Amino acid sequence: MAQESSDLASQRRLLQSLGFGFIEVPFEPRTDSPAQAAGAPQRVPSPPAAAGPKSRTALPPRTAVPVAPTSPAAAIPADKAGRQAALIEHETSMRGCDRCNLQLVRGQVVPGAGLVDSRLFVIAEVPLAADDAEGSSLNGPIGEMTRKIFAAMKLTPEQVYFTTAVKCRPPEGRPPSTIERRACQPFLARQLQLVQPEVIVTCGSEALAAILPAKAADGLDRVRGRWLEWQRIPVMPTLSLELIHGDQSLKRVVWGDMQAVMKQLGIG
Ligand code: SF4
């Protein structure tokens, strides 16, 4: 090391003698591992475990939430059976996730429900309260309402994949933070890649933001009911399920959007 410093000093003197100036830049040694330096995907460290039982209301400051890296696209099996097996494995892998602070307040992870090759892929904003308790999708009154909408669209449960922008319910069902949504986004992206739907419906601005953040930033009012596109798949943005359930007059608006979806799917 002493020899190396001496070499650098003499190179520096030589260059200065030739008229080159220097700007002092403080040297900060790398702290990442060799694997990180090579660009390999790294697991985000979990926040320290909270002492005692989980609190369902107290959240650590958002600035403490690590952002999960977007892992490189894993291989997509070529055949349907392989994709179905990969989807089940993927859903199972979410169950113990600790990528963001919602792990501290959730009841259960709610990965989603459905099969590969579902014609329609529906993204809601956050798990419903009943789903958080059950660890499965579409429970309770809002879940029942949603199933009725699918039935009215002449879609069987096997033809619809349903999931949410984040897989853990935030306290009181509040919108997920940008950090939480981004941490969970790789799960959603892989679900989409494995299911390979014909059409995507996003319910609410947070659901739209999970796949098309720039469009969501324009405001849901500006894009609701208009066809967008995600990786060549048509996307129909509509209202959130909670909003529809709370205001019956909005069902007519949403039904108009769903009729456009049915037309796109060649139904009815
Ligand atoms: S919301 Fe998503 S990223 Fe955050 S803990 Fe739950 S599964 Fe993991």
Structural domains of the chain in order of their starting residue, each with its CATH number:
76-265 (3.40.470.10)
The reported pLDDT for the residue numbered 200 is 98
Q: In whole angstroms, how far apart are CA 28 and each of 25, 32, 123, 201?
A: 9, 12, 44, 47
Specify the pLDDT at position 69.
37
3-state DSSP call for residue 120? Answer: strand
pLDDT, tens digit, for every residue of 225-263? 999 999 999 999 999 999 999 998 999 999 999 999 999
Query: Quick one: pLDDT at residue 102?
Result: 98
Distance CA 103, CA 66 (A): 12
Mean pLDDT of the chain: 81
Please state the pTM of the whole predicted model: 0.75
Given a contact cutoff of 8 angstroms between Cβ atoms, the answer to whether 149 and 141 are in contact is no
- In this prediction, residue 74 carries a pLDDT of 79
Dihedrals φ, ψ of 238, to 5°? -135, -170
Residues contacting ligand 1 via CB (< 6 Å): 94, 97, 99-100, 102-103, 109, 166-168, 180, 183-184
Q: Give the model's pLDDT for residue 209.
A: 98
Per-residue pLDDT of the chain (268 residues; tens, 9 = 90+): 444 444 444 444 433 443 333 333 332 333 333 333 333 333 333 333 333 334 443 444 333 333 333 344 579 999 999 999 999 999 999 999 999 999 999 999 999 999 999 999 999 999 999 999 999 999 999 999 999 999 999 999 999 999 999 999 999 999 999 999 999 999 999 999 999 999 999 999 999 999 999 999 999 999 999 999 999 999 999 999 999 999 989 999 999 999 999 999 999 7
Bridge-based pairing state of the strands 228-230 and 199-203: unpaired
3-state SS assignment for residue 268: coil
* Residue-level pLDDT at 62: 37
Q: Where are the alpha helices (DSSP H) in the chain?
A: 2-17, 34-37, 80-94, 129-134, 140-152, 178-195, 205-211, 213-217, 220-223, 241-246, 251-265
pLDDT, residue 137, reads: 97
Å from CA of 99 to ligand 1 middle: 6
Residue whose CB lies within 8 A of the most ligand 1 atoms, among 70, 71, 105, 184, for a mutation test:
184
Residue nearest to atom 4 of ligand 1 (CA): 100
Would you list the DSSP string of 133-166? HHTSSS-HHHHHHHHHHHHHTT--GGGEEEEESS
